[in-house]
C-alpha cells in the first residue's frame, strides 16, 4: 500500500507541479486541498492522479482530528501569494495561523511537514542566508512567512520532519491563473506573442535598463528539491530554494525572444540587436515601486549543500527556454 500524501494549494502553481512529481514516482494516494473560488485552476489538476479533493475551509480541523488516517507528509503550498495584498488580518490568518495550526497538528499526528516560506522574508536585506540578522521583510506577506519560520525555529523536540523552503522567483508551467503575480517569463511570453516585443523596466538607482537582477528558479528544480527532502526524512530546517544565480531581467527577455526565433528557424540575437530591432523595449520605472523594489536577490545555498542536497539548477537560459517551448506547445 502506497503512502498517503497531502498537498495544500494543490491546484495552484507549485502545488500542482509537486503532485505531478509525486505521480511520476507512482504515488497517487494524494489528497489535494485548495480553494477553487478561482475555478479555472482546475485545469492544473485535470491530467493528474489524486485520491481526493477538499476545500481548505474543511481540511484543517479534519486533519487535526485524524480524519485521514496515517499521512506520511504534507506539502503545504497553500497561501496568499499576492505580495501586494494589504489586508494584514487576512494575510496573517491564511499564511501564518493556518500554517502554525498545521505544524502543531503534524507534530501531534506524526506527519512530516514541508512548507512554503519565501525569500520575501529578506526584504531590504542584501544578504540572503538563513539567519535572523538578514530578515527585514518589506510587506505583511513577507512578515507572515517570517513569523512561521520563527515559530519553526523554536520547536525544540522535533517529532517528525519540518522543512521550510524560502522560494525565490519561481517560474514554469501552471502559473497562468496568477495574473499580475505570474512570473516575468510568463508575462514576457505573452508580450512577445501578442506584440512582437518584450517590455522591461528602465534604469533605477544603480541599475541600467533591464539590469535589475533576481534569482530565477525553474519549477522543475523546486519540485526536485522538495522530493529530495521527502526522500530524506531525517533532514529538517529552513532552507533557501533558489538557483544560486542572480541574473538580470534582460536575460529572461533575451531567452524568450531567442526561443521564439529558434522555433521559427531564425538565428539567435544578442541583447544589443534585440533592443535595436525593438524586440526588447524599456519603460520608465514606475513611481509606485520607488523605495519598494529589490534590485538584487541571490539565494545563498551553503546550508542546502551542507546537508547533502547537490541538485544542479537550471540557469535562466535553459529553464526559460524549456518553459517557453512548453507554453508555445499548449497554446497552439
Residue among 49, 178, 199, 235 flagged as catalytic: 178
State how far the Cα of 66 lies from the Cα of 62, in Å rounded to an integer. Answer: 6
Q: Are 209 and 202 in contact (CB under 8 A)?
A: yes
CB environment 233-256: b (16+ within 10 A), e (fewer): eebbbbbbbbbbbbbbbbbbbbbb
State how far the Cα of 86 lies from the Cα of 139, in Å rounded to an integer. Answer: 8
DSSP-assigned letters across all residues of 97-112: IHHHHHHHHHHHHT-E
State how far the Cα of 332 lies from the Cα of 15, in Å rounded to an integer. Answer: 25
Question: DSSP code of 207?
Answer: B
State how far the Cα of 184 lies from the Cα of 67, in Å rounded to an integer. Answer: 40
Whether residue 141 lies in the annotated active site: yes
Residues 6+ apart with CB under 8 A from 168: 119, 214, 215, 216, 217, 240, 241, 242, 243, 297, 299
Q: Please state the φ and ψ torsions of residue 35, each to the nearest 5 degrees.
A: -125, 105
Q: Are 239 and 321 in contact (CB under 8 A)?
A: no
State how far the Cα of 306 lies from the Cα of 328, in Å rounded to an integer. Answer: 38
Residue among 141, 143, 167, 189 flagged as catalytic: 141
Task: Please list the active-site residues.
Answer: 141, 178
Amino acid at each position: 500500500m502506497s503512502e498517503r500524501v497531502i498537498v495544500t494549494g494543490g491546484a495552484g502553481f507549485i502545488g500542482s507541479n509537486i503532485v505531478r512529481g509525486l505521480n511520476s514516482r507512482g504515488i497517487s494516494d494524494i489528497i489535494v486541498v485548495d480553494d477553487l473560488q478561482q475555478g479555472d485552476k482546475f485545469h492544473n489538476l485535470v491530467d493528474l492522479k489524486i485520491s481526493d479533493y477538499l476545500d481548505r475551509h474543511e481540511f484543517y480541523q479534519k486533519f487535526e482530528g485524524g480524519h485521514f488516517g496515517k499521512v506520511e507528509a504534507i506539502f503545504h503550498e497553500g497561501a496568499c501569494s499576492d505580495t501586494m495584498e494589504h489586508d494584514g488580518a487576512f494575510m496573517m490568518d491564511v499564511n501564518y495561523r493556518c500554517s502554525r495550526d498545521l505544524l502543531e497538528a503534524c507534530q501531534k499526528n506524526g506527519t512530516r511537514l514541508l512548507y512554503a516560506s519565501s525569500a520575501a522574508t529578506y526584504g531590504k536585506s542584501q544578504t540572503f542566508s538563513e539567519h535572523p540578522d538578514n530578515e527585514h521583510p518589506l510587506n505583511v506577506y513577507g512578515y507572515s512567512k517570517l513569523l512561521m519560520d520563527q515559530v519553526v525555529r523554536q520547536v525544540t523536540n522535533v517529532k517528525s520532519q519540518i522543512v521550510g523552503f524560502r522560494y525565490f522567483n519561481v517560474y514554469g508551467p501552471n502559473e497562468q491563473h496568477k495574473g499580475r503575480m505570474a512570473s516575468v517569463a510568463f508575462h514576457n511570453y505573452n508580450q512577445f506573442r501578442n506584440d512582437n516585443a518584450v517590455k522591461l523596466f528602465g534604469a533605477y538607482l544603480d541599475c541600467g535598463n533591464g539590469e535589475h537582477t533576481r534569482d530565477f528558479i525553474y519549477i522543475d528544480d523546486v519540485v526536485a528539491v522538495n522530493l529530495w527532502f521527502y526522500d530524506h526524512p531525517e533532514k529538517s530546517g529552513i532552507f533557501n530554494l533558489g538557483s544560486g544565480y542572480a541574473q538580470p531581467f534582460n536575460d529572461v527577455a533575451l531567452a524568450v525572444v531567442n526561443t521564439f526565433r529558434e522555433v521559427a528557424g531564425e538565428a539567435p540575437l544578442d541583447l544589443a540587436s534585440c533592443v535595436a530591432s525593438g524586440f526588447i523595449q524599456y519603460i520608465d520605472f514606475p513611481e509606485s515601486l520607488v523605495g519598494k523594489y529589490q534590485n538584487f536577490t541571490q539565494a545563498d545555498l551553503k546550508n542546502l549543500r551542507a546537508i547533502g542536497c547537490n541538485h544542479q539548477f537550471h540557469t535562466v537560459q535553459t529553464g526559460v527556454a524549456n518553459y517557453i517551448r512548453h507554453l508555445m506547445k499548449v497554446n497552439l
